[in-house]
Amino acid sequence: MRETLKFVTVGHVDHGKSTLIGRLLYDTQSLPPDKIEELRKQSQTLEGEPEFAFVMDHLEEERRQHITIDTAQIFFKTPRRDYTIIDAPGHKQFLKNMITGSTQAEAAVLLLDAQEGLQEQTGRHAFMLNLLGVKQTIVVINKMDLVAYRQERFEQLKAEIMDHLAALGTEVASDMIIPISARLGDNVARRSDALPWYTGSTLLEALDRLKQAPDAVNHVLRLPVQDVYEIAGASVAVGQVAVGTIEQGQHIILQPSGQCAVVKEIKQYNQEKHRAIAGESIGVLLEQGETDISVKRGDIVCALNDGPDISHRLDAVVFWMDPEPLGLGETLEVKCATQQGQGQVSRIKERLNSATLEVLSEEATELCETEVACLTIKLAHPMATDPFEETPEMGRFVLMRHMKTVAGGIVALRSGDTATD
């Protein structure tokens, strides 16, 4: 079975993301034959290179019509492996998708325009990648043709972006910063005579050197319960195994309630299984001797001796996405995995500009749109969480106000406040 690696493309508006994606699809022969022919005719008509952004315009139209193309994913392959491009329509949607788990990127391609350089949205995207634990980043300095392929301009931007990423705690290898022209195809899939001073990888070669994320199967068990069904007089908890494995006969603990149980049966599509692994959606029948066990949506099925943090408090890093500021003391709805409950913002320790990393204030009273904060949330009822660095699936959450998602956050550390109702 071939490897598949998911990566997200991000960058400031008009820095060439659509053109780059179109070029990648074209150069890897991943477009339908009619679209390739259309691009060839277009290039003949324009007496030059085709407009590869047209490819993305076409995909967007198909998305609107709900035809063929997934809302967030585009596919291509190299001899090395298959790739899924996660096309982020905007930083808010990207953050929301990543936090909720509907989109999971193992790596990122960050674009800079060789003329414009590091812009506000570039810095913001870099911050979010770091916040969300996307550690593998390739930086492409695009539109090198517009600066006459000057090496000194490339080296200047390379130093700037490396400094910026280092300030975030993200280390990018020098050979993962690549000069390209997506429009002309220079250094995307093929080397270019226009860059004789550059001896490093093409973008495709750099992608092929990325490492896949660690297998989620080799992790302690976390299975958020999505729903509970009564089948033949028994309560069957259903959900997707987030990480780890679950086996028939295994002793588990339900958190945050702390109830212990044994896995009596595992079912998938009405078929009995002895074992299920990360990514599989299953039904689980639990037993607890002669005592009835109460299972509900929001419970987390966990490994017996290696459970999550159970706490009335979240110490977190939050990215605020709503025009109306967050106020100190405000109560919001907190959603983590399948858990949901109210939480009050008891402390805004530090506010930061997400683009420049400037500390705006300490012990703040509000948080404004696109700002980031280290804050503390007091929960009305305890939740089961893991620090994001340990288990991303249990370490990310969203904040909601009036049924609208207004922020995404990650659990920064264990609270040390073990609690039960």
8 A C-beta contact, residue 284 and residue 290:
no
Query: Which tens digits make up the pLDDT trace of 394-419?
Result: 999 999 999 999 998 999 876 655 45
Q: How many CB atoms lie within 10 A of CB 417?
A: 15
8 A C-beta contact, residue 345 and residue 375:
yes
Q: How far apart are CA 143 and CA 186, in angstroms?
A: 9
Q: What is the pLDDT of residue 355?
A: 79
Query: Which tens digits make up the pLDDT trace of 318-341?
Result: 999 899 999 999 999 999 999 999
CA-based nearest residue to 6, from 127, 95, 88, 62: 88
Query: Which tens digits make up the pLDDT trace of 136-173?
Result: 999 999 999 999 999 999 999 999 999 988 888 788 99
Q: How far apart are CA 150 and CA 417, in angstroms?
A: 56
Helices (H) and strands (E) in the chain, counts: 8, 25
Peptide bond into 387 cis (omega under 30): no
Measured torsion, CA atoms of residues 37, 195, 13, 49, in degrees rounded to the nearest 10: -20
Distances (CA, A) of 109 to 101, 162, 412: 19, 14, 25
Residue with tokens 């249990």: 394
Across the chain, mean pLDDT equals 86
Residue with tokens 């414009």: 116
Q: What is the pLDDT of residue 91?
A: 58
Instruction: Count Cα atoms within 13 angstroms, Cβ side, for 357.
Output: 15
Q: How many CB atoms lie within 10 A of CB 3?
A: 9
Name residues whose C-beta falls within 8 Å of residue 62's C-beta, 6 or more positions apart in sequence.
68, 69
| Residue 187 pLDDT level (bands cut at 50, 70, 90) | very high
Q: Give the helix/strand (H/E) hosting 374.
A: strand 371-385
Q: Which residue has the higher pLDDT, 421 or 348?
A: 348
Strands 82-87 vs 4-11: parallel, antiparallel or unpaired: parallel
Q: What is the pLDDT of residue 139?
A: 97
Domains in the chain (CATH in brackets) are 4-208 (3.40.50.300), 222-303 (2.40.30.10), 309-411 (2.40.30.10)
